[in-house]
Copies of this chain bind each other. A is one copy, B any other.
Amino acid sequence: MFQSLFSPSVQHAIDLIGIFVFAISGALLAVRKNFDVFGIAVLAEVTALGGGLFRDLIIGAVPPAAFTDLGYFLTPLLAALLVFFLHPEVERLESWVNVFDAAGLGLFCVAGTTKAYEYGLGLTASATLGLATAVGGGVLRDVLANEVPSLLRWDRDLYAVPAMVGATMVAVCIRCDMLNPVTSALAVITAFVLRLLAMRYHWRAPRAWNRRSTVVEVREGAQP
């Protein structure tokens, strides 16, 4: 329906890069949680492919791309192997991993929004699914690792907001009939740069106003 942002083969290569860096973040968490090599592979796969899988189930694109494209499936395994053997080196490169992760965030929120719209969803729903494509894998990763999703925690730099901005830009462009490779690239870059700035300046989202009254409840919640 839309002219793709890049030629299919270039787009595919970009997808694989995004999948690879997401998988690295999953594999690193698995190492920190002391999982075995199989757990590392599972967390790499889930982090890299979970968001797209969710989107594809919602829009009815079954079987999902994660199960029809062998490259999508093998790339996280490669990332898992790399982390398995070289994780101290990979962790030393963590700031670079974060930069690539930001790029993946930008690419996935734009690609997710576009794909959802192509399957007939409305603009708001498409942007929401674009956001879910970008952040869903990380949420699944944290749920499987039995941690509070870092996406939801107030003490983490903004992660979802850059993806929301990128997805919204795509939706607005579709609405104005202006979605083309240039505007798509602009949306990717905006999300990417916003995420980099959020990491650089530790931007955080506010918590609920006037929290004094709930201090006691937080303590209760901490030991259920």
Contacts and interface: CB of A to CB of B under 8 A. Distances in A.
Nearest to A80: B208
Contact of A36 (B34, B67, B120, B206): B206
A170 interface: no
A59 interface: yes
Interface in A74-92: 74, 83-85, 87-88, 91
A34 B149 CA distance: 12
A144 B153 CA distance: 11
A38 B205 contact: yes
Report the copy number of this chain in the oligomer.
Answer: 3
Contacts of A220: 32
A24 to B, nearest CB: 13
A43 to B, nearest CB: 7
Given A62-B58, A64-B58, A147-B146, A160 B38 contact: yes
21 contacts: A30-B152, A31-B214, A33-B148, A33-B152, A35-B152, A35-B154, A36-B204, A36-B206, A36-B207, A38-B152, A57-B58, A63-B119, A67-B125, A67-B129, A70-B122, A73-B124, A73-B125, A84-B208, A85-B209, A87-B214, A91-B213
